[in-house]
Amino acid sequence: MGKKSYSSSTWRGWRYVQPRYYIKRPKRLALVLVVCISLTWFVYDRQSLNREHQEDILRLKEEVTRLQNTLDDIKGHMKGSAEIIQNDKKNNKFSKGISDEDDPINLQRREKVKEAMLHAWTSYEKYAWGKDELKPQSMNGVDSFGGLGATLVDSLDTLFIMGLDSQFQRAREWIAKSLYFNKNIEVSVFETTIRVLGGLLSAYDLSGDEVFLEKARDLADKLLPAWNTPSGIPYNRINLAYGNTNNARWTRGNSILADSGSEQLEFIALSQRTNDPKYQEKAEKVIKELHRTFPEDGLLPIYLNPLTGTKSSGAITFGAMGDSTIAAQYAENKCQVACLAFPSFYEYLLKAWIQGNKTEMVKFYREMWEASMRGLQSLIRKSTPSSFVYITEKLGNSFFDKMDELACFVPGMLALGSSGYGPGEGDKFMSLAEELAWTCYNFYQSTPTKLAGENYYFRKGEDMTVGTSWNIQRPETIESLFYLWRFTKNKTYQEWGWNIFQAFEKNSRIETGYVGLKDVTTGAKDNMMQSFFLAETLKYLYLLFSPPSVIPLDEWVFNTEAHPLRIVPRNAHQEGLSVDEEEKFPRHLHGRKEGRMGYK
């Protein structure tokens, strides 16, 4: 019975899979087809959803990975920023509260300038390490100043102020191990003082590292024989190994005022830091000699006889004095009576007063500077038709309507010195500073490249016309914009500085550094990165976009190569110097440094 039942059941189930069963029953066939299609669609749909799900999961994983990497980058940047801030606090004790004073635009611009400095420095490190200067286009170094690593030493304080610590440390190691001065080479006393001695002293004041002071003292000892003359006025060139001295042939044996009277800030600072008065005594003997016959209008001749101390008469200029322009005049016998200069020599009269903390003891410096500023006013003219204020040059009784870009340090000097006047007089000099700064800014804006030529002529009805058309990355205009911004807080000066910086970026930056221009009208490039581009131009730009707490001007004074020296009160007893009431002698200034065109 059971067996029969099983057979019957099996048969009934089997018939449902036989095609002929459904042929006879079309409705059931349709139902089966619907069921099969539905099952197929369900399975396919599940598989598709599963594939899409897997793809979604993969995409999500990739997104999570990307976000994680982004988060890591952000953390890294935050850590780097924190390290920079910590380094700034550690290294730049003068910049307390910088974050509270800063604004986003200045921060961004300052970082751009810092990146430019890093590009210039990295190129120097790669192609000219230990050499005086880099020739970017030929990618090699050249010893323009006797092989003393001028760019390296010149850049020390810029690296420090910008917080480029690893670069500063590498430079410090080179100086400790490779910089020495017992060399059979002839150097300019002036250039070596402002660039190398000034750079070493500034690095010491900023970092406190004794190696810089030791090197500074060693160098000064090599330079001192230049002052061993009957008058105390130094020769301008010296052999470091043997102490042999001389002056350039084209000066006919004379010393240049700007060179001879422009080492005082550095030598006084060295005496203060070493407690050895000999450096200050040598440097100030020059001023003592000049002060005896200092004229009422403060206009001194460009040439001094180192044997007799006598002065010559001739041309007066606030610009290039004693470099290529005057040398060429001498070579062509156009300056027979000697040329008189009114360059940034007087900058040091003012800054010696500031370096001495503006005390009664150094009041005579200020008095001499004010006399010189009265003389300056006799050289001021206005162009037509735009009324640009400019400084003429004077040869004998004749005036020449020419102004060098070098003279564009004057607005900054006037701004720096204006606070020492009474309200009315101070406002007058500040107004003159701002008018001259506008002229200097237009030296840049008037050319196709927006970079200034070396000098300009002012002819009636023509305003300014480029004379010598090269640009060698000079800092004077930017220097003045920095001082004007510090004293007026007028952001216009920051905007002008930013425009000049962008012009340098556009025209002077190449892959292997920064170069000057042979011609500011065509943009043709030369082959030299001046050491003062790193020491001054980029430093003043960086400070232009920094809060006043970074190198405050009541605590620091800049030498003519933009090396900040800490202000230390002068004390006659501590210095071992004799300064009496009848013979207070001032300290004189510098001539602006030379630049070289590197065409090859």
Instruction: HSE, CB side, 13 Å, CA atoms: give it for residue 71.
Output: 6
Task: Outline where 519-593 has alpha helix (H).
Answer: 531-532, 538-544, 572-575
Name the active-site residue from 266, 284, 454, 463: 454
Q: What per-residue string of b and e applies to 346-366 under the rule 16 or more CB within 10 Å gives b? A: bbbbbbbbbbbebeebbebbb
> According to the model, what pLDDT value does residue 99 have?
52
Task: Look up residue 48 and give its two tokens.
Answer: 């598709």
State mean pLDDT over 309-336: 48
**DSSP labels for 223-252?**
HGGGG-SSSSPPPSEEETTT--EE--GGGT
Q: Is the pLDDT of residue 320 over 70?
A: no
Task: Look up residue 361 and give its two tokens.
Answer: 């003891």
State mean pLDDT over 537-543: 98
Distance CA 285, CA 587 (A): 9
Task: Look up residue 420 and give its two tokens.
Answer: 């020492």
H or E stretch at 466: strand 463-466
Would you place residue 265 in the very low, low, confident or very high pLDDT band (cuts 50, 70, 90)?
very high
The verdict on whether 323 is a catalytic residue reads yes
Name the active-site residue from 476, 479, 519, 536: 476
Task: Look up residue 282 and give its two tokens.
Answer: 């040598």
Residue among 490, 493, 551, 484 at smallest CA distance from 98: 551
Across the chain, mean pLDDT equals 83
The verdict on whether 281 is a catalytic residue reads no
Name the active-site residue from 205, 266, 323, 405: 323
Q: Is the pLDDT of residue 250 over 80?
A: yes
The verdict on whether 221 is a catalytic residue reads no
Q: Is the pLDDT of residue 341 over 50?
A: no
Contact call for residues 185 and 240 (beta carbons, < 8 A): yes
Triad 437, 442, 447: Cα angle to 5°: 150
8 CA to centre of own chain: 107
Contact call for residues 181 and 148 (beta carbons, < 8 A): yes
State mean pLDDT over 36-65: 65
Would you place residue 298 in the very low, low, confident or very high pLDDT band (cuts 50, 70, 90)?
confident
H or E stretch at 400: strand 398-400
Contact call for residues 305 and 381 (beta carbons, < 8 A): no
Residue among 382, 360, 363 at smallest CA distance from 371: 363
**Which CA distances in Å does 518 have to 425, 446, 449, 457, 596?**
41, 17, 12, 18, 11
Distance CA 531, CA 561 (A): 10
- Looking at the DSSP assignment, which residues form a beta bridge with residue 525? 517
- Residue of 519 and 42 predicted with greater confidence: 519
Interhelix angle 492-507/476-488, nearest 10 degrees? 160
Name the active-site residue from 88, 191, 405, 526: 191
- Residue of 272 and 600 predicted with greater confidence: 272
> According to the model, what pLDDT value does residue 19 have?
67
> According to the model, what pLDDT value does residue 65 have?
60
Contact call for residues 22 and 29 (beta carbons, < 8 A): yes
Give the lowest-confidence range in 283-297, 408-422, 437-451.
283-297
The verdict on whether 404 is a catalytic residue reads no
